[in-house]
Amino acid sequence: MLENVWIAALVAIFAWWFATGVILLVVRRADNSDGHLWATLGNVPLLILGGTGAWITFTDTSLFGVYGAFFSALAIWGWIELAFLTGVIAGPNRYPLRAGVPEWERFIRAWGTVAYHEVALVMALMALSLFAYGMPNKFAFWTFAILYVARISAKLNLYLGVRKVNTEFIPKPLVHVPSHFRESRINWLFPTSVTGLSFAVACFMERIADAPTPAAAIGFTLLAVMTALALLEHWFMVVRLPDEKLWRWMLPKEQDTTSGGPENAL
């Protein structure tokens, strides 16, 4: 059953939705208990599991190896994102942007809000690239690379200006970050971003058709779907759709500061 490309596509979609929801859930609970550092440290085994899984699957071209590589990359990515959202690995600038600053200062301050996170992502990408070099199964590297490129593109578009800036899930340690975003109808980078992601989806779909093995076809299916989801997330920045409803129902409400205690879960 797992050799079916449609099943693989559903697996990728569910993994994207579920992993995002779990990270948001952990961060929301950390917000309600001020346990951001412990939430990050407590999930270090996820990072270790992802790194170990990627290492093991580099030489495994079986169907199990392809799925294992995909989920290992998601585990590494998920922990780094959790560390960012909890504010543990974010950046040295933790202050809202002042009004009227020149553009060069705005860029430097915006970079300062995410600098440590970006360094962590680059280090992880370089490590996966180094260890995947010459190996038969590079799907862990390619999965992480897609996530990285899509995230950089999304951050740059938010910085340059998009129509919809969703701040509903911004955690307490990062409340200063949205002040560095800009709202506008469209920016010069957005057409390039969606065109590039669309081209990547087409390339991966072509590779599915020409895959030498069923396992390789599944791997390219997972990459194609993750790239398509990244493309969809870009469109959510300019089309006002309530995409936050995909996860809002599963999250506990933020702590009620007036009563001093957490509210009931949704």
Q: How confident is the model at residue 266 (pLDDT cuts 50, 70, 90)?
A: very low
Q: What is the mean pLDDT of residues 185-198?
A: 95
Q: Cα(180)–Cα(110) distance, rounded to whole angstroms?
A: 6
C-alpha span between 125 and 6 (Å, rounded): 28
Mean per-residue pLDDT of the chain: 92
> Is the model more confident about 75 or about 2?
75
pLDDT of residue 166: 86
State the pLDDT at residue 65: 97
Task: Judge contact between 75 and 49, C-beta under 8 A.
Answer: yes
What pLDDT is attached to residue 171?
A: 94
Query: What pLDDT, on the 0 to 100 scale, is given for residue 260?
Result: 35
pLDDT tens for residues 2-50?
889 999 999 999 999 999 999 999 999 999 888 999 999 999 999 999 9
Q: What is the pLDDT of residues 118-141, one digit of tens each?
A: 999 999 999 999 999 999 999 999
Paired tokens of 188: 């010069």
Which segment of 47-61, 82-96, 205-219, 239-253 scores lowest on mean pLDDT? 239-253
Q: Does the pLDDT at position 264 exceed 60?
A: no
Tell me the backbone φ, ψ of residue 261, rounded to 5 degrees: -135, 160
Domain boundaries, the chain: 5-248
Cα separation, 1 vs 192, in Å, equals 37
Checking if the pLDDT of 94 tops 80, the result is yes
What pLDDT is recorded for position 255?
A: 66
**pTM as predicted:** 0.92
3-state secondary structure the chain: CCCCHHHHHHHHHHHHHHHHHHHHHHHHHHHHHCCHHHHHHHCHHHHHHHHHHHHHHCCCCCHHHHHHHHHHHHHHHHHHHHHHHCCCCCCCCCCCCCCCCCHHHHHHHHHHHHHHHHHHHHHHHHHHHHHHCCCCCCHHHHHHHHHHHHHHHHHHHHHHCECCCCCCCCCHHHCCHHHHCCECCCCCCHHHHHHHHHHHHHHHHHHHHCCCCHHHHHHHHHHHHHHHHHHHHHHHCCCCCCCCHHHHCCCECCCECCCCECCCEC
Q: Tokens for 231? A: 């493309």
Q: For 164-172, what is the mean pLDDT? A: 90
Tokens for 149, please give them: 């490129």
**What pLDDT score does 251 carry?**
83
pLDDT above 50 (res 69): yes
**pLDDT greater than 60 at residue 111:** yes
Compute the average pLDDT of residues 66-95.
97
How far apart are the C-alpha atoms of 150 and 197, rounded to whole Å? 8
Residue 257's pLDDT is what? Answer: 38
User: Does 167 score more than 70 pLDDT?
Assistant: yes
Q: Is the pLDDT of residue 66 over 90?
A: yes
